[in-house]
Amino acid sequence: MSKPIKVAIIDDHPLFRDGVAASLRDAPMIDLVAEGSNASEAIEISEKVLPDIMLLDISMPGKSIEAARQISILYPAVRIIMLTASDSDEDVSASLDAGARGYVLKGIGSDELIRMIVAVHNGESYITPSLAARVLSKMQTRLATPVAEDSASLTPREEQILEFVSMGQTNKEIAKGLGISEKTVKHYMTNIMQKLQVRNRVEAVLSVRNKKNANEKRTAKVRLANSSSSRD
């Protein structure tokens, strides 16, 4: 049996924190190792306890996103999931930029939260589906340059997997749908991110979309030019 996932909760609302803690204590694969109420305690807990997963609220004393950035740099083994009431696109983008592996709204059920903890612990990234499409759009500015034409092209299987990722599916769901192992899906995702030179699943999807859009625009221009030439 694999070791339980060490989880820390950082939230300044005791009632909410106690509710999440109670749910996690009932999960056999979870070991709740620490609780905190502000950004400073998040950094301190990362140093002293080194949890596998940290559930971190954005709206609490201190600068939570900056704390996430410091933790990601100083303690990369700690994978951060933002568990918050904020559905701000800016907060989602800032959290991902700071190194968070997940962004989950507080309305999530306990069973789904546990599944997300397990998924992130296994190397996946997760954003509440209702926010994912909006985040992709907001990230257009930062990732506006399409993938270079001379970069390694994706294989048909990699393109297929990336399409499932764009639909919000986890590695486990993709593996089940394709009839392959979850480990194989992880291997494909590693190759995809290396080829596209991106840091996470969201950026991978957006990079391919940007390249596709750029190619479509070029094709449209060529057709327009050809059409004009034929009329002349």
Q: Give pLDDT, residue 48.
A: 93
> Letter for the amino acid at 164?
F
Contact yes or no for 182/170 (Cβ under 8 A): no
Lowest mean pLDDT of 13-27, 77-91, 97-111, 158-172, name the range: 158-172
Domain 5-137 top-level CATH class? alpha beta
Q: Give pLDDT, residue 147.
A: 44
Do you know the residue count of the chain? 232
Contact yes or no for 53/31 (Cβ under 8 A): no
Q: Is 79 exposed, middle or buried (0-12, 13-18, 19+ CB in 10 A)?
A: buried
Check pLDDT > 80 for residue 199: no
Check pLDDT > 80 for residue 2: no
Q: Which residue has the higher pLDDT, 144 or 23?
A: 23
Give percent of the chain with pLDDT exceeding 70.
80
Fold of 156-231: Arc Repressor Mutant, subunit A (1.10.10)
This prediction has a pTM of 0.62
Q: Answer yes or no: same fold for 5-137 and 156-231.
A: no
196: pLDDT confidence band, cut at 50, 70 and 90?
confident
Q: What is the DSSP string of 92-142?
A: HHHHHHTT-SEEEETT--HHHHHHHHHHHHTT--EE-HHHHHHHHHHTTTT
Domain boundaries defined on the chain:
5-137, 156-231
Check pLDDT > 60 for residue 179: yes
Angle at 180 between CA 173 and CA 30, to 5 degrees: 50
> Letter for the amino acid at 156?
P
